[in-house]
């Protein structure tokens, strides 16, 4: 039951109707049951893992809060981390590390027996594991009081709008909302509707239609011409953004319907003015998680009496972020690529600032205008690593990228189509930026205009939307 399907709409309507009819004290229970039913619709067998993770962290957090001794507290934190990372490691990384070890052994002339576990990656495991880890760590750091009701904590972990692909909301925000009494208000409905519809438009009309352009290169053996690879990279950059931000908006919309405020995962990243700014706007819940639970602790750690260099630290955290996305070397390379870019930007910043001091206002205006375009191209180039199925494909496509530009003309219509497809998103986000709000800014428009925008969007989704069963980030 994915967000872009009619059964999901029917499910949400049913749950919402029951939610409104039930007295307040039963609403969390209803949402918990609905969340488990939603998760079971993907594969009921993985409910066990979800429950294991939930009960472990619920218990460990309560024990940590109850204890004063640092060692004892640490022991329970370790139990939580071992269970969570262990499950994640087995299901997501075991085969990757095994295959990598086999490759290394083969390199040194040994012939290891082929071994692999036949495991299916449970949907949303990376998302809810990070959620539960952050909860236990926050309790350990005494920033949060543990939940005293299992059902509340279980709902925080399994809250169905954010369960399978985030945003990775923190307990400080979502759990507190779950614990406090809430009224389902009619006034939330238009906002929820606006967010959901905008997300659906991005997913079904933009992302799913761009899939064909992306697949034409990435799912076909080459060789391809440089312009064809460029078109595929543009398409994938827009596709992955619209797919994931579309999902996040839909998740926020559904959560809003039930009176919950879920964090905004994307803050118009295509309007970023620097690489740092880009990563402050892209998949915010993950980047802020990595910053708070990996980057800062590592920055405070001394190795051989010295703190880690900020540039090395940046690369390391980005590599971890790459690995979070998937157990494959291309994701490691993707993390290293973005980490290196960011380190380079940090290194060059003083020099750039000095150089910019001597620029005329006209040159500065040009610089401001060209920056997002440059950033987009750097990001799109990174998509080569992100989308490729193997490092072999990365190398072959990188080679393809450098040649065949005499055959630009046949690919130009495709590139134009990709840009045209994305244009509504760009215009919408520009207008959104003017109002400094999320997609709900449209509610400030006159009714007739709002309804007209909705109808035109609905038409494009229903008639020209391509239908794919899944979201890009479901695989993570």
As annotated, the active-site residues are: 325
> Is 475 an interacting residue with respect to another protein (CB under 8 A)?
no
> Is 423 an interacting residue with respect to another protein (CB under 8 A)?
no
Q: Using the rule CB under 8 A, which residue among 104, 456, 470, 475 binds another protein?
A: 456
Closest contact distance (angstroms) between CB of 4 and another protein is 9
Q: Which of residues 7 and 223 has its CB atom nearest to another protein in the complex?
A: 7
Q: Which of residues 357 and 444 has its CB atom nearest to another protein in the complex?
A: 444
Closest contact distance (angstroms) between CB of 5 and another protein is 7
Q: Using the rule CB under 8 A, which residue among 13, 52, 370, 462 binds another protein?
A: 462
**Structure letter (DSSP) for residue 168:** -
Binding track, positions 156-185, relative to another protein; x by CB under 8 A = ------------------------------
Closest contact distance (angstroms) between CB of 185 and another protein is 14
Q: Using the rule CB under 8 A, which residue among 69, 358, 447, 469 binds another protein?
A: 447
For residue 223, is the peptide bond before it cis, meaning its omega torsion is within 30 degrees of 0? Answer: yes
Angle at 90 between CA 86 and CA 92, to 5 degrees: 110
3-state helix, strand, coil in the chain (%, to 5): 75, 0, 20
- Going by C-alpha positions, the residue among 71, 32, 72 that lies closest to residue 51 is 32
Q: Using the rule CB under 8 A, which residue among 172, 347, 451, 470 binds another protein?
A: 451
Residues in the chain: 476
Angle at 110 between CA 108 and CA 115, to 5 degrees: 120
**How many chain residues bind another protein (CB under 8 A)?**
16
Closest contact distance (angstroms) between CB of 96 and another protein is 34
Q: Which of residues 227 and 465 has its CB atom nearest to another protein in the complex?
A: 465
> Is 189 an interacting residue with respect to another protein (CB under 8 A)?
no
Q: Using the rule CB under 8 A, which residue among 121, 298, 381, 458 binds another protein?
A: 458
Crossing angle for the helix pair 329-357 and 391-401, to the nearest 10 degrees: 40
> Is 459 an interacting residue with respect to another protein (CB under 8 A)?
yes
Burial category of 14 from C-beta neighbours within 10 Å (exposed 0-12, middle 13-18, buried 19 and up): exposed
The rounded distance, in Å, linking the Cα atoms of 214 and 211 is 5
Contact 472, 383 (CB under 8 A): no
Q: Which of residues 212 and 458 has its CB atom nearest to another protein in the complex?
A: 458
> Is 470 an interacting residue with respect to another protein (CB under 8 A)?
no
Q: Which of residues 23 and 446 has its CB atom nearest to another protein in the complex?
A: 446
Q: Using the rule CB under 8 A, which residue among 78, 143, 452, 470 binds another protein?
A: 452
> Is 463 an interacting residue with respect to another protein (CB under 8 A)?
yes
- Output the DSSP codes for 89-156: IIIIIHHHHHHHHHHHHHHTT--PPP-----PPPTTHHHHHHHHHHHHHHHHTTSSPPPS-HHHHHHH
| C-alpha dist (Å) from residue 186 to 28, 161, 257, 260, 438 | 19, 19, 9, 13, 19
Binding part of the chain for another protein, among 3-11, 101-109, 249-257, 303-311 by CB under 8 A, reads 3-11
The rounded distance, in Å, linking the Cα atoms of 383 and 241 is 11
> Is 455 an interacting residue with respect to another protein (CB under 8 A)?
yes
- Output the DSSP codes for 358-388: T--HHHHHHHHHHHHHHHHHHHHHHHHHHH-
Q: Which of residues 12 and 286 has its CB atom nearest to another protein in the complex?
A: 12
How many Cβ atoms are within 10 Å of 143's Cβ, its own excluded?
A: 11
Binding part of the chain for another protein, among 278-286, 382-390, 433-441, 459-467 by CB under 8 A, reads 459-467
Closest contact distance (angstroms) between CB of 458 and another protein is 7
Q: Using the rule CB under 8 A, which residue among 259, 454, 466, 474 binds another protein?
A: 454
Angle at 224 between CA 223 and CA 227, to 5 degrees: 160
Interface with another protein (CB under 8 A):
5-7, 447-448, 451-452, 454-456, 458-460, 462-463, 467
């Amino acid at each position: 039951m994915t967000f872009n399907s009619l059964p999901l709409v029917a499910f949400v309507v049913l749950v919402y109707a029951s939610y409104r009819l039930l007295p307040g004290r039963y609403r969390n229970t209803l949402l918990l049951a609905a969340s488990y039913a939603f998760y079971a619709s993907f594969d009921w067998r993985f409910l066990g893992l979800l429950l294991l993770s939930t009960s472990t962290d619920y218990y460990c957090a309560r024990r940590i809060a109850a204890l004063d001794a640092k060692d004892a507290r640490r022991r329970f934190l370790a139990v939580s981390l071992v269970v969570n990372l262990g499950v994640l490691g087995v299901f997501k990384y075991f085969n990757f590390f095994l295959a990598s070890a086999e490759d290394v052994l083969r390199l040194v002339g040994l012939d290891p027996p082929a071994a692999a576990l036949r495991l299916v990656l449970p949907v949303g495991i990376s998302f809810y594991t990070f959620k539960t880890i952050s909860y236990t760590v926050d309790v350990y750091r005494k920033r949060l009081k543990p939940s005293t009701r299992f059902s509340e904590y279980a709902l925080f972990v399994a809250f169905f709008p954010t369960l399978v692909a985030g945003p990775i909301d923190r307990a400080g925000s979502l759990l507190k909302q779950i614990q406090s009494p809430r009224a389902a208000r009619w006034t939330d409905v238009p906002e929820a509707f606006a967010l959901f519809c905008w997300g659906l438009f991005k997913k079904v009309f933009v992302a799913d239609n761009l899939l064909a352009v992306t697949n034409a290169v990435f799912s076909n053996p080459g060789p391809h011409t440089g312009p064809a690879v460029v078109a595929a990279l543009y398409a994938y950059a827009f596709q992955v953004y619209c797919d994931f931000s579309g999902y996040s908006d839909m998740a926020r919309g559904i959560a809003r319907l039930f009176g919950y405020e879920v964090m905004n995962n994307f803050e118009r990243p295509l309007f970023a003015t620097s690489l740092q700014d880009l990563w402050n706007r892209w998949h915010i819940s993950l980047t802020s998680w990595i910053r708070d639970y990996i980057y800062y602790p590592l920055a405070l750690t001394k190795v051989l009496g010295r703190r880690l260099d900020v540039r090395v630290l940046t690369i390391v955290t980005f590599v971890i972020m790459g690995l979070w996305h998937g157990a494959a070397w291309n994701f490691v390379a993707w993390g290293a690529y973005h980490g290196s870019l960011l380190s380079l930007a940090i290194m060059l910043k003083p020099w750039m600032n000095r150089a910019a001091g001597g620029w005329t206002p006209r040159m500065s205006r040009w610089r401001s205008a060209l920056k997002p375009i440059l950033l987009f191209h750097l990001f799109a180039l990174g998509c080569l690593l992100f989308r490729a199925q193997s490092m072999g494909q990365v190398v072959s496509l990188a080679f393809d990228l450098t040649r065949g530009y005499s055959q630009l003309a046949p690919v130009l219509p495709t590139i134009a189509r990709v840009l045209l497809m994305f244009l509504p998103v760009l215009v919408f986000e520009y207008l959104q930026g003017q109002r400094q709000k999320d997609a709900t800014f449209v509610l400030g428009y006159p009714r007739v205009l709002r309804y007209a925008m909705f109808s035109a969007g609905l038409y494009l989704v229903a008639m020209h939307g391509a239908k794919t069963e899944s979201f890009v980030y479901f695989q993570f």
